Structure 1
C-alpha cells in the first residue's frame, strides 16, 4: 500500500502527459483531481489499518536494489510520518482543485504536481537514508519548474534561488549521511541499524551540524530563509499552498528523524543553542511580517516564525514538546494553505495584494464577505485562539518546552502575540473600512472557489476541538523516540529532573 502512494501519482502523471493536446485544460484538471483523490483514498485505507499503539514501522516493504551502494527500496510509516503523509495528499488534492481551469500547458502542469506529490511521499516513507535523499532531491525538479514556468514576473529569479539553496541543502544532508555510515563502519544506509551505531561525540556534533544547516534551509530558519519569500511571491496560489503546507515539513521531519533520532547525544549538547536559534527565527519572522505590505509576503514570513516553534520543541525533546512538533506541522500546514488560498482569491478578484491599497473587502454587498470571513478564521487560528488547531499545537510546544528552556519559551511566546499584531493589521486594513470605488462591484466568488477555504476551515476547527484525532496517531511514536533521551539529557543539560518531566507530561497528554 505504501508503494501505491508513490507509484499511483507517477502513473497519473504519465496518463495526463499522453493525453491528446486537443483535450481542454478543464478536462485535464478533472483527471488530475480524480487521480489525486485516489491517492487520498489509499491514505484513508492505510489509516483504517494503522495501529496507533505500535511504536515501530508499519506496512513495511523492502526490495534489494543496489547492494554494493547500500541502497535498498525500503519503505515504512509510523506515527511521525503518517500525519504528514495524510496532510501532503490532502493538500495536493486541494492545490489541484485551486488551479485555474484555463492554466497554460495543463498536461505538463498537472503532471508536475503529481510528480511532486510522489517525491514528497517517497521522502516521508523512505527507511533507507540514500533512498530518502533521492526522493528529497527528486521533488526539487517539479517545484522548480512549477515556479519557473507558471510564476510571476520574477519567476526565473525566484526559481533559480530556490534551486540553489535547496541543492546546497541536499549536499549537506548527503555529506552527513555518508559520514554517518562510513565513519561508523555501516555496510548500508538502512535506518534502523544506524540507530544503535555509536560515534565519538565530536564527530556526532560535526555531522549533526551539517544536518541542521541542510534541513534548516528547507524549513527555513533565519538566516537561511531568504529564498522562501521570493518563492512564495512569484509562485502561483496552488504552488504556494503546497510549498507552505507540505514542502517545508520535509525540513522539520528530517530534523527530527535524522537529527534527533540518529544523534541524540550531540542533540542534547547543542539543544540550548538550538532553542536560542528558534527564538531568533521566531522573532525575526514575526517582526519582519509586521513590516510587509504584500499579503502573500506577510504570510510567508509568518511561516518562518511558526517553523521556529518546531525547532524550540525539538530542542527541548520532551514527550509533550515532541508531540507538539507533529501537531504544529499539521496545524501550520492547514492554516498556511488556507491563508495562501484565500490571498489567491483576493488577488484574482482585485488584481492586487497590497494592503495599503485594499480596504473594505468585507462589504456584504459589493466586496468579498465570505472570503473575508474565512480569512478572519485563518488569522484567528494562526494567532492561537482557543478552540482552533493553532492553539493546541502551540500549547503543547510551550508546555513541553518550558521545563527545559523557560527563557527561550517565554521569548518565543512573544511571537504568538506578534502574530496577532501583523494579522490584525492585515485584516483591519484589507477587509474593514470603506470600500474604494475602484473595487466596487467586484466579481462574485463562486462556491467552487470558496470550497477549499471552507474545507480547511472545518478541519482547523474540528482538530482544534478534538485534537486527539491527531494525537492518537503520534503519541506512542514520539514518546518511544525519547525513551533513552531523558537519561542523556540529564548528563548533558542542567534541566530539572528529566525523568520527572517525562512522567508529568505523560499525565498531561492522557488527560
Structure 2
C-alpha cells in the first residue's frame, strides 16, 4: 500500500515527461491533477485503515536493496508521519490546480511537481536512515528547477542560494547518519535495528549537533533562514504553497524522528538551549515580518516564527507539547498555503504585492472582496483566534511547554501578539481604505481562483472546532515516543549521579 504512494506520482511524472507528442498545457495539467488526486485519495484510504492505537509502524514493507551498503527498502507509517502524508497529498493537488494553464514547458513543470511529491512522500515513509536521505535529496533538484525556470526576476539567485543551503543540510545529515550507524555498531541503516542508547553523551551531542544544524537549515531556524524569503519571493505561487506547506515540515519531522527519538539523552541535555533557540527564531521572524512591505515576503518571514513554536514544543519533551508539534506542523501547512494562494491572486489581479501600492482591495464593487474576506480568515487563523486550528495548535504547544520552560514559553507567546501586529498591518494597508488609483479596473476573479483557498479555509475551521479529528491519529504514537525518551533520560541521569558519588 505504501509503495503505491511513491510509484503513482513517479509513473505519472514519467508518463507526462515522455509523452511522445506535444500536448496542450491544459491537458497536461488535467493529467497531472488526476495522478495527484488518485495519490491523495490513496493516502485517505490508508488513513481509514490506520489503527491509531498501534504505536508501531503500520503497513510496513521491507525488501533488501543494496546489502553491501546496508541499504534496505523499509517503509512504514505511524501517527507522526500519517498526517504529514495526507497534507502532502492535499497540497500537491492544490498546487497543480493553482498552476497557470499557459505556462511554458508544461510537461517538464508538472513532471517536476510529481517528482517533488515522490521525494517528500518517500522521506515521510522511510524507515531506513540512508533511504530517508535519498528521498530527502531527491526533492532538492525538482524544487531548484521549479524556482530557477518558472520563478521571478531574481530566480537564478534564489534557486542557487536554496541549492547551496540545502546541499549543506544534506551533507550534515548524512554525516550524522553515518556516525550513528558506525559508532553504534549497526550492521545496516534500518531504524528498527539501531541501538544508540549505549553511545557516550559526548558522542551523542556531536551527532545531534549535525542533525540540528542540518534540519535547522531546512525548517529554517535563525541564522540559517536567509534562503527562505528569497526562495518564496521568486517562486511561483504553487511552488510557495508546497515549500511552506510541506517541504519545511521535512526539517521538523527529521528533528523528531532522528533527533529526539534516536538521541534522547543528548536531546534532553540540550533542551534548554533548543528552547532558547526557538525564542530567537520566533521573535526574529516576527520582527522581520513587521518590517516588510512585500506581502509575500511578510508571509515568508511569518513561517520562520511559526516553525520556531515546533522547536520549543519538541525541546520541552512532554507528551502534550510533542503532540503540539504535529498539530502546529499541520496547522502551519494549511494556513501558510492559504495565505500564499491569496497573495498570489492579489498579485495576479492587481499586478503588485507592494503594500505601498495596493490599497482598498476589500472594496465590494471594484476590488477583491471575497479574496479580502478569505485573507481575514487566514490572518485570524495565523494569529491564533479561537475556533481555528491555529489557536488550538499554539495553545497545545504553550500548555505543554510552560511547565518545563516557562520563561521561553512566555517569550514565544509574545510572538503570537506580534503575528497579529504584522498581519493587521497587511490587512489595513492592502484591503481597507480607499481603493488605490494604481490598481483600478481589476480583472474578474473566478470561483476557480477562490476554490483552493476556500477548501483550506474550511479545513482550518473544521480542525479548529474539532481538533480531536486530527490529534487522535497522532497522540498514541507521540505518547509512546516521549515515554521512551523520558525513560532513557532518567536512566542516564541516575548513571551520572552514581558516577558523581
Contact 1:328 1:393 (8 Å CA) reproduced: yes
- The Cα offsets for residues 458-482 of structure 1, whole Å up to 9 and x where unpaired, read as 0000000000111010000000001
Change (3 A) 1:296 1:492: farther
Report the equivalent of 1:401: 401
Give, in angstroms, the shift of residue 491 of structure 1.
7.2
Report the equivalent of 1:440: 440
Structure 2 distance, partners of 1:297, 1:474, is 32
- The Cα offsets for residues 448-467 of structure 1, whole Å up to 9 and x where unpaired, read as 01000100000000000000
CA RMSD, Structure 1 to Structure 2 (Å): 1.1
Change (3 A) 1:243 1:366: same
5+ residue gaps in structure 2? 494-501
Q: Give the 5 Å matches for 1:292-311.
A: 292-311=292-311
Report the equivalent of 2:125: 125
Report the equivalent of 2:391: 391
Report runs of 4+ in structure 1 exceeding 6 Å deviation. Answer: none
Q: Scaled by the length of structure 1, what TM-score is found?
A: 0.95
Structure 2 distance, partners of 1:89, 1:5, is 9
Change (3 A) 1:409 1:490: farther
Structure 1 distance, partners of 2:348, 2:484, is 52
- The Cα offsets for residues 14-62 of structure 1, whole Å up to 9 and x where unpaired, read as 1111224431101110111111000011111101110010000000000
Give, in angstroms, the shift of residue 157 of structure 1.
0.5
Report the equivalent of 1:166: 166
Size of the aligned set, in residue pairs, is 493
Give, in angstroms, the shift of residue 358 of structure 1.
0.8
Structure 2 distance, partners of 1:492, 1:229, is 41
Report the equivalent of 1:47: 47
Report the equivalent of 2:111: 111
Asked if residue 365 in structure 1 is aligned to residue 371 in structure 2, the reply is no
Structure 1 distance, partners of 2:490, 2:396, is 22
Give, in angstroms, the shift of residue 5 of structure 1.
0.3
- The Cα offsets for residues 416-438 of structure 1, whole Å up to 9 and x where unpaired, read as 00000000000110000000223
5+ residue gaps in structure 1? 494-511
Structure 2 distance, partners of 1:183, 1:32, is 44
Structure 1 distance, partners of 2:198, 2:354, is 54
Structure 2 distance, partners of 1:158, 1:362, is 32
Q: Give the 5 Å matches for 1:257-272.
A: 257-272=257-272
SS across alignment from 2:367? coil
Give, in angstroms, the shift of residue 195 of structure 1.
4.7
Report the equivalent of 1:220: 220
Contact 1:221 1:281 (8 Å CA) reproduced: yes
Q: Give the 5 Å matches for 1:317-332.
A: 317-332=317-332
Give, in angstroms, the shift of residue 88 of structure 1.
0.4
- The Cα offsets for residues 162-186 of structure 1, whole Å up to 9 and x where unpaired, read as 0000000000000000001111111
Report the equivalent of 2:58: 58
